[in-house]
Amino acid sequence: MRPLPNQQQKAINEMKLRLYFGFILLFTLLVGCRQQATPAADQNLDVQLEFSNSDAVGESNLAITITDAQGQSITDAQVEVRGDMTHAGMTPVIVTAQIGDDGRYHAAFEWTMGGDWIVTVSVRLADGSLVEQTFDYSIAGAMNMDMSDSPMTTPEATAEE
């Protein structure tokens, strides 16, 4: 019996195997993340999006209603909302909406700048499939200059003369 070389070889083989499956898993996850989201209409889903404020820069609350072909509300989905401006260089606004007692999904959302926005509602259904619906908004106003949360704004800086 020559235990050492065999065991070493076995250990190496095992490591290779683990790496191999690790890569397969990683690849699957990466592909999974870019999973083909289908338009909501293709799944016979109706996605409605409402904002408390959708015409000016600032804080807003959104509500999403998702209904199936039978008109039943879907309340067990995972819903993410992403706001992108149509011009480059903006950080998207991404929020997760939570289901409420009213059967709608809610989240706080901030229009951080005036201009044209594309809001994408991503719905991960209970069966794992991903459905998307986009909405266009035109927001009035310039960039949000309310920097009250920013450490750059000190009381002295805003003091009046």
Which residues of this protein are in contact with Cu ion, per CB under 5 A? 85, 90, 113
Nearer to Cu ion, 113 or 131 (CB): 113
Strand ordering across the sheet containing 46-51: 38-39, 130-139, 115-124, 78-85, 93-99, 105-111, 58-67, 46-51
Nearer to Cu ion, 35 or 138 (CB): 138
* Pairing verdict, β 58-67 and 78-85: unpaired
We find the least distance from the C-beta atom of residue 140 to Cu ion, in angstroms, to be 13
We find the least distance from the C-beta atom of residue 113 to Cu ion, in angstroms, to be 4
Nearer to Cu ion, 113 or 121 (CB): 113
We find the least distance from the C-beta atom of residue 48 to Cu ion, in angstroms, to be 25
Nearer to Cu ion, 79 or 113 (CB): 113
Cα 149 to Cα 161: distance, rounded to the nearest angstrom: 23
We find the least distance from the C-beta atom of residue 84 to Cu ion, in angstroms, to be 9
Q: Which residues on adjacent β-strands are paired with residue 160?
A: none
Helix (H, G, I), strand (E, B), or coil: what is residue 19? helix
